[in-house]
Structure 1
């Protein structure tokens, strides 16, 4: 999940709706083209720190050579027309592109306390900025998540694998997505987040949920359907969603 939230006059946060950009809906079912994500994997191997409850990224440690590696990866991705890929390659392409672009954005503004501090004076974060050009089309991070990934795949676990560089966000995964590991990583990401305190925390009769489940409630269905979704992945006794509160930590997922 990454949010791309907007701030209303009453300071309430509103998540964008899934709104298909038809241009990107095309795909080639029989395509055998494979996208190389090794440069992105190299950055994950070197700078991502995985701990039981949280992964953090060592932004301050990234060398100039590896910043170039990341830029080269993003340039390579921009040369690809994802509409010529099959659906599985497309999914991996868009998720990795989103996460790599987010890391590059943080590196370009580092040190910064939160991704929400990046962007125009009146904006809540950088999600609406046109940061990428793919096949001649200018795209923002919001475009990738809310106009491509969510409306095409209609998969709630997407929120567990696009990362907004914040402690409250589902963790940036240590493996780059590929056409062959996507199902496994989606399952791992859902289980990891839902069994972390930032995803679901029990306090007596009250259940503290990530604000993701509030902002994107439409993607998870009714309260009963959300309860079933959470219990599918939780270890231990099933939970009942009766008294609910929501929380989210926007602090940067930085590791010194």
Structure 2
């Protein structure tokens, strides 16, 4: 009976938090990490992560799928070593461009690692304790003696420091509804190009935005993080730059609010 009740409670929690009305964490700066050294010319090596992506990430239609079930033991070891390499650095000693690539790649590598640690699973949302909706709030790494979660990286470091809504296209939550895990590791040199590419690909895909019978369906990202896009009106204007037909829909007198969808199934091949 107790086991049955636990399952019921978990289902209720997931039902609440997986809806399009899910409250996303606010961008809440962690000041400790808002330090950089603009005069440091050194770069951080992300070649190990690039190798893992090359060997395990496949492009199928609108989706980039990771081979969680077929990854080699050597690549699992390489992933562990890469994460260890990054967490032993002090990112505050690097310039801002190096830092951005550092945090994005670390987030994505840690996400792959947590899925592998709990594989097989149908969804990352099933990882965590009874009262958890996914692993995002769990302690996952230690840097400079500071324990860090995935939520910390996204909502307390990346979003408040860089204030670029395209961050949402760079960090991957191991789900089909999420903007794709990039086939290239982020670097200080390619960040702008990768962000622009990811932005365009996601918005123009059905999982980013879809128009059916004159009705607009958007990714729940544009609901959860609408504040990052300047509010709903600004967000719709922004999307219309990529799909002009949106403008015709939202200016109609009988325009109804967009619906929001998100696919939490694992992005596995």
| TM band (smaller chain) | over 0.9
Q: 1:247 aligns with which of 261, 266, 269?
A: 261
The aligned counterpart of 1:113 is: 122
Q: Any idea what SS the aligned residue of 1:65 has? A: helix
Larger-Rg structure: 2
**Does structure 2 conserve the Cα–Cα contact (< 8 Å) formed by 1:8 and 1:14?**
no
Cα offset for 1:15? 0.5
How far apart are the structure 2 equivalents of 1:253 and 1:156?
22
The aligned counterpart of 1:157 is: 166
The aligned counterpart of 2:3 is: none
How far apart are the structure 1 equivalents of 2:212 and 2:229?
22
Kindly report the root-mean-square deviation, in angstroms, between the aligned alpha carbons of the 2 structures: 1.6
* Cα separation, partners in 2 of 1:112 and 1:154, compared to 1, 3 Å: same
Alignment TM-score, normalising by the size of structure 2: 0.89
The aligned counterpart of 1:43 is: 52
* Cα separation, partners in 2 of 1:65 and 1:8, compared to 1, 3 Å: closer
Q: How does 1:53-68 map to 2 (within 5 A)?
A: 53-68=62-77
Q: How does 1:123-202 map to 2 (within 5 A)?
A: 123-202=132-211
Q: How does 1:52-91 map to 2 (within 5 A)?
A: 52-91=61-100
* Runs of at least 5 residues in structure 1 that lack an aligned partner in the other structure: 1-6
Is 1:27 the equivalent of 2:41? no
The aligned counterpart of 2:224 is: 215
* Cα separation, partners in 2 of 1:105 and 1:153, compared to 1, 3 Å: same
Query: Deviations along 1:156-206, whole A, 9 cap, x unmatched?
Result: 000011000000000001000000000000000000000100000001221
**Does structure 1 conserve the Cα–Cα contact (< 8 Å) formed by 2:14 and 2:133?**
no
Which stretch of the first structure deviates more once superposed, 180-189 or 224-233?
224-233
* Runs of at least 5 residues in structure 2 that lack an aligned partner in the other structure: 1-12
Query: Deviations along 1:122-150, whole A, 9 cap, x unmatched?
Result: 01000000100011110000000000000
* Cα separation, partners in 2 of 1:8 and 1:185, compared to 1, 3 Å: same
